[in-house]
Amino acid sequence: MDVSDRLIGRRTVLGAGGAGLAGAAFGGLARPALAQGKKFKVVLSNSYIGNKWRLEMENVFKAALQMEPYKSSIEGSWFNSDNDVSKQSQQLSNVIAQRPDAILINAASPTGLNGIINQGAARDILMIAFDNTVTTPKCLKVNTSQSEMGRAWADFLVKKMNGRGNVIMVTGVAGTEVDQARIKGAEEVFEKAPGIKVVNRYTGMWDSSTAERNTAAILPSLPQIDGIWCQGGTDGVIKAFISANRPVPPVAGEAENGFRRFMVGYNGQKVDGLSIGQPPYLSVISLELARRILIGQHPKQDLLVPLAPLTSDQVKLGETAFADQPDSFFADFTDGGDHPILKLCVTAALDGTPCSGRLDVNLPAV
Amino acid sequence: MPPDAVASSRRSRVAHALAQNVGLELAIAMLVLSVAIYCAIYYAAQGLLPGGFELTTTVNNTMPLVLAAVAQTLVVLTRGIDLSVGGVIDLTNAIAAIGLGDSLAQMVAVSVAVLMVGAACGLLNGVLVAYGRLQPILVTLATLSIFQGVAIRVLPQPGGQVAEGYTAALANPSGPVSLLYAVLLALIWWGLRRTRLGIGIYAIGNDESAAEAHGIDARRTKILAYMLGGTFSAAAGLFLAANATAGDATTGNGYTLTSIVAVVLGGVSLFGGRGSAVGAMLGAFITTMIVNILFFAQIDPLYQAFYEGLFLVGAVLLAGGIGRLVRRS
Amino acid sequence: MSQDVPAVEAVNLVKSFGGVRALQGASLAAAAGEVHALVGENGAGKSTVIKALGGRVQPDGGEIRIGGRQVRLPAPPTAHALGAWTVFQELTLLPGMTVAENLLLAREPRTRLGLVDRRRLAANAESVLAGLGVHHIDPRALVEDIPLAERQMVEIVRAISHDPRILFLDEPTSSLVEREVVWLFGQIRRLRAKGACIVFTSHRWNEIRSIADRITVFRGGRDVGCFTELSEEDAVTLMTGQRVETFFPPLPAAPRAADHRPALEVRNLAAPRLRPVSFAVAPGEVLGIGGLAGHGHRELFLALFGAGRATGGQVLLDGKPVRLRNPREAERAGIALVPEDRKSEGLLLPMSVRDNLSLALLRRLSRAGLLRRGLERQMAGGEVQRLKVRTASLAAPVGTLSGGNQQKVLLGRWLLTDPRVLLLYDVTRGVDVATKHEIFELMMRLAGEGRAILFYSSDAEELAHLGHRVLVMREGRMAAELRAPGITAEHVVSAAVRDAA
């Protein structure tokens, strides 16, 4: 029996092709699954699980699947592929063969999966890419704006420094799109503030120990620093300042627990800072988007997820900073802002244990 | 001719062929076995057998590795190793993504040019190994970085667009057309094995100085082997671009290691001079089957890499063990 | 070509390998229609001269002339073009390829498409072999799957099949058995009759005597004389520069069996390919074991050393039964085995002479797990002197020593364990005449010290001269027992083949 024949047959019945997704009306893809008491099948294809962020991202996805409304309506599964494009592509074809209703993808390559994603879309499967998204138009994208993040960090510093003083920029992995977008966003702001002088720019590789080492090496040659702009490894940069007996100026940085703890007050240091991270719960937002589209309550559109900035005044121990977690833990697994998209408990991020109660995800307005 | 009595005490031609191609036979057995397991697990999970879609995507996904495995085989047979396979794929994939265009003439011209770029990369490797008297592993490790660097310059951001016609020709999504290329590749290998170059490659892989003592030009043979390998790697880059419908200057990186895995699974000796590219091609399909089996076996994704490694070690041990057993008997 | 002009000539060849001077003014001239033997100790430069003449080694100085014209031979194919082919000592076969591919490398038959015709390849190889009277080698077999002797024959056939005007053979008989040597000499005579010039090296004096027209002796990287007649004793004298009275040293007085309990007694020992055998060796006795290859002596030696599987029987040392399940047990019991294949069965070539010597008794040399270097050096140094091992220093890697000296190191290693019973398995194979002589002297000294020696040799001459008794094996059992004095090589050979003929 030829599976593709069967799939083509189904596509005719549903009458929805793979093209023109953005304009599809509400309910255009709504499926009768719920009516028949069946669950939607949603699969997460994660390109790799080699760092803490990816672990938390997968853990909150697992936790969400065990919480309402997903528990009763979604049958979820997940796969990792060692950051190998051809392996992820092969796994995706296996996923497609299982005919799920939606596939969520954190991609190993922005283009390398286009072929197989197009095939999935052609078979009427809802394809959603998040975090590391893809270029094919046959796939919805869920992500934050990286340039906006860079801009927000820079804005914070300009304000804190009253528009004048010395800034260092600790960048990420050179050559990546994310690194470039964040720097570009920051530069736009700093250019408009003539009093701000970027006295040095070096990489921290998005890694605390590298950031600490590089900062310690470069610090003796630097004048007084009035602001730190850091893409990642923020706690490492702060530690280097402390070891060198330099006062820690206002810091705009990522969402490492170590940084958040300094924002609360840690080892006698209280850092005035702004913490914004790439939220691990992008997976849960993508899950919610898939669910809403499948039940016909959301248009098939890309989602720009607003940032969840957190200042030293807002950060709370036990909610958005954790004394009992390592510094490298990403503390933004839950939205700590005033109008949160979602609220998750720490166990969800740690090992995928569901939180009590229902998980309400307020999708950002389109 | 010798008397019949003497000839009859010998093994027949078929018996020789069987005994001398144990690696290839084991690769066939492993592929058959892994396909069978895959089908069984698939049936258990889905309630039906895999069909056209599964075959098509598997073939299209595996073709770049098949080509990379042939490229790797050529070099491994000369007692070398080509770590730059991934770099050549990166570079050629990048060039293909920006250059192929929409017209048939341009597609053909650019494809040929891409293959020539691959050959040039191989030429560089070959000249450094043959005339520089350097270890292949060092040379190709260095050129891997060079090719990767150039690839990033060619295509800094993943992108480009491969025309549908090109995808349909090399990695047709609606049917396993690419199997024809695999068959073609096996035929090319059959012919190559019977050319002076083919024999020379095996000869220098067996014993370079002995081969030279009998009139084989080792340098020329090595350079040609690396060039041919580069060309096949470039073909892998083209297939990769066709299958992905776009380019990414880093997607080729993984092929360096996986091509070595395919070569080993295919029964090609890493010590050179023994084995067949056909075995390595089968090895490529085996690695894909392992991915498929682990997928449908519903193994916790966190342990997948562990099981994959276990499977590989087991397969290599088994192949080595059976090979020795057959030898002895 | 005029009769006066040598077919091939080496004039004052000089060659160094990383500081070691292999050739220091070596000359050689051989005529058409002549079989010319090259003799000398291992390391005297014979192989290097042949490699230079074959184009595999570039001399640093001197001249090579072929047919009177000076030539340069940058690679073997250049020599081939001049009609000169070489059978190198370390074979130049491709192990993973078939006999046919090896025989016809770079001259394979082609189809109309220009591809190699594999069917005709095997058929052509078959007829090449058959044309030279070789019927037992399968052209479709991989070279690595055929025995060493057959490989050597393939190497020889390949050279001869080119119908060479000049043929160099470097120890062509080292792996061949009697029958195959007869075949080779037949071929050599055929080529000589056709006017070819054949230059060969060998350590087997009877071979040299039977076929060589002239003999050039090498010592220390240069020629020391060319002779048409030369006795073995004179050859050894020339090769070593020391006067040797008799090539085979006299046997020490035979111990009277009644006086002693046997040092080694074997009762109904059985193993695969070994029918139950029984014999005894007295202390101070040299017992030779003879027989054709594959008739059980290898299995006997391995079983006695605990390296082979014994399926029945009993072994007694000094009257006490011992179990020999592995070589370690044999070593503890006082049995030592020196094998013929030094490289694969005995020595660690990249390691130093000292390390190789002390390997067998690391346990005794170490205190609290630490090696006592001083003691080690002292013992190793003493052994090197006693055995007259020619080595630059104790720290020199064994691989840099000549074959005969490697064999002495291996022997020395076992002597350091002070064994009661020495098993010597064809230890003189591939060893030059002079070193053979030294090994023989050593054997007699060891017997004189009261050790029991069990000694197998593929050279019947050695057995005839060196054993108090010789047991000849045939089809896994003891077929004959010969007693000195009065044993001849002919006795040994005929006892080995008596029924087979």
The two three-digit tokens of residue C279, written as one number = 């014999």
Q: Do B258 and A86 touch (CB under 8 A)?
A: yes
Going through chain B in order, the beta strands assigned E by DSSP cover none
The Cα of A116 is separated from the nearest Cα of chain B by a number of Å equal to 7
Q: What CATH class does B23-32+53-319 carry?
A: mainly alpha
Which residues from C are below 8 Å from B21, CB to CB?
A: none
Cα dihedral C287/C288/C290/C294 (nearest 10): 70
- Is the pLDDT reported for residue B137 higher than 90? yes
The minimal CB distance from B206 to the residues C94, C114, C129 is found for C94
pLDDT of residue A182: 93
**At C293, which amino acid appears?**
A
B51 touches chain A (CB under 8 A): yes
Q: Count of CB contacts below 8 A, B vs C?
A: 91
Percent of chain A at pLDDT exceeding 70: 90
Cα dihedral C72/C78/C84/C90 (nearest 10): 100
Q: What is the CA radius of gyration of chain B?
A: 21
Residue A143: how many other CB atoms lie within 10 Å: 18
C51 shares a domain with C86: yes
Q: Do B195 and C142 touch (CB under 8 A)?
A: no
C456 shares a domain with C394: no
Could you tell me the fold of the domain covering A3-144+280-305? Rossmann fold (3.40.50)
Range scoring the smallest mean pLDDT among A152-161, B108-117, C96-105, C274-283 = C274-283
Nearest residue of A to residue B50, measured between CA atoms: A3
Asked, for residue C340, whether it belongs to a domain, the answer is: no
A49 touches chain B (CB under 8 A): yes
C427 shares a domain with C414: no
Question: Helix, strand, coil: what percent of chain C each, to 5?
Answer: 35, 25, 40
The minimal CB distance from A89 to the residues B46, B61, B159 is found for B61
As beta bridge partners, residue A203 has: A171
Averaged pLDDT, B74-89: 96
The Cα of C168 is separated from the nearest Cα of chain B by a number of Å equal to 14
B199 touches chain C (CB under 8 A): yes
Axis crossing angle, helix B136-154 with helix B85-99, rounded to the nearest 10: 20
pLDDT of residue C179: 86
Closest residue by Cα to residue C87 from C3, C7, C176: C176
Asked, for residue C153, whether it belongs to a domain, the answer is: yes
Asked, for residue C14, whether it belongs to a domain, the answer is: yes
Q: What CATH class does A146-275 carry?
A: alpha beta
Confidence of residue A265 (pLDDT cuts 50, 70, 90): confident
Averaged pLDDT, C488-493: 82
Averaged pLDDT, C345-354: 70
Mean pLDDT of chain C: 85
Asked, for residue C232, whether it belongs to a domain, the answer is: yes
Instruction: Examine the fold and report which residue of C215, C240, C265 is the final residue of a domain before the chain moves on.
Output: C240
End-to-end CA distance of chain A: 42
| Cis preceding linkage at C485, omega within 30 | yes
Mean pLDDT of chain B: 89
Q: Do C116 and B16 touch (CB under 8 A)?
A: no
C293 shares a domain with C220: no
The Cα of A308 is separated from the nearest Cα of chain B by a number of Å equal to 28
C424 shares a domain with C399: no
Residues in chain A: 366
- Is the pLDDT reported for residue B326 higher than 70? no
C489 shares a domain with C411: no
- Is the pLDDT reported for residue C207 higher than 50? yes
C231 shares a domain with C149: yes
pLDDT of residue A217: 92
Domain boundaries, chain A: 3-144+280-305, 146-275
Per residue in A109-118, pLDDT (tens digit) is 888 899 999 9
Q: Do A110 and B160 touch (CB under 8 A)?
A: no
Are the C-beta atoms of residues C410 and C346 closer than 8 Å to each other?
yes
Confidence of residue C194 (pLDDT cuts 50, 70, 90): very high
| pTM attached to this predicted model | 0.80
Asked, for residue C132, whether it belongs to a domain, the answer is: no
Per residue in C386-431, pLDDT (tens digit) is 777 777 777 777 777 777 777 788 888 778 778 889 989 888 877 7
Closest residue by Cα to residue A86 from B99, B253, B246, B151: B253
C269 shares a domain with C233: no
Q: How far apart are CA A208 and CA A230, in angstroms?
A: 11
pLDDT of residue C368: 64
Q: Do B196 and C106 touch (CB under 8 A)?
A: yes
Q: How far apart are CA A249 and CA A47, in angstroms?
A: 37
Sheet hosting strand C335-338, strand order edge to edge? C335-338, C421-425, C452-456, C286-290, C469-474, C477-483
Per residue in A1-43, pLDDT (tens digit) is 333 333 333 333 333 333 334 334 444 445 555 545 688 999 9
- Is the pLDDT reported for residue C343 higher than 60? no
Return the higher-pLDDT residue of B325 and B229. B229
Percent of chain B at pLDDT exceeding 70: 95
C398 shares a domain with C427: no
Q: Which residues 201-230 in chain B show a CB within 8 A of chain A?
A: none
The minimal CB distance from B248 to the residues A84, A109, A116 is found for A109
Range of the domain at C284: 249-334+420-501
- The two domains A3-144+280-305 and A146-275 share their CATH topology (first three levels equal): yes
* Preferred mutation among C51, C113, C115 to probe B, highest tally of B CBs within 10 A: C115
* Preferred mutation among B245, B286, B303 to probe A, highest tally of A CBs within 10 A: B245
C305 shares a domain with C203: no
Measured CA to CA in angstroms, residue C453 lies from A266, A269, C248 at distances of 83, 86, 16
Residue C362: how many other CB atoms lie within 10 Å: 11
C277 shares a domain with C386: no
Per residue in B203-232, pLDDT (tens digit) is 999 999 899 888 899 999 999 999 999 999
Q: Do A112 and B246 touch (CB under 8 A)?
A: yes
C159 shares a domain with C47: yes
The Cα of B323 is separated from the nearest Cα of chain A by a number of Å equal to 30
Per residue in B252-295, pLDDT (tens digit) is 988 999 999 999 999 898 898 999 999 999 999 999 999 899 88
Asked, for residue C192, whether it belongs to a domain, the answer is: yes
* Contacts with B203 (C-beta within 8 Å, 6 or more apart), sequence order: B210, B211, B214, B216, B221, B273, C94, C97, C105
Which residues from C are below 8 Å from B216, CB to CB?
A: 105-106
Q: Do B301 and A80 touch (CB under 8 A)?
A: yes
Averaged pLDDT, A273-299: 92
Averaged pLDDT, C142-147: 89
DSSP for residue C139:
T
CATH of the domain at C15: 3.40.50.300
- Is the pLDDT reported for residue A312 higher than 70? yes
User: What is the β-pairing status of strands C222-227 and C214-219?
Assistant: antiparallel
Return the higher-pLDDT residue of C372 and A291. A291
Q: Which chains touch A (3 or more CB pairs under 8 A)?
A: B
Asked, for residue C491, whether it belongs to a domain, the answer is: yes
| Cis preceding linkage at A354, omega within 30 | no
Tally of domains in chain C: 3
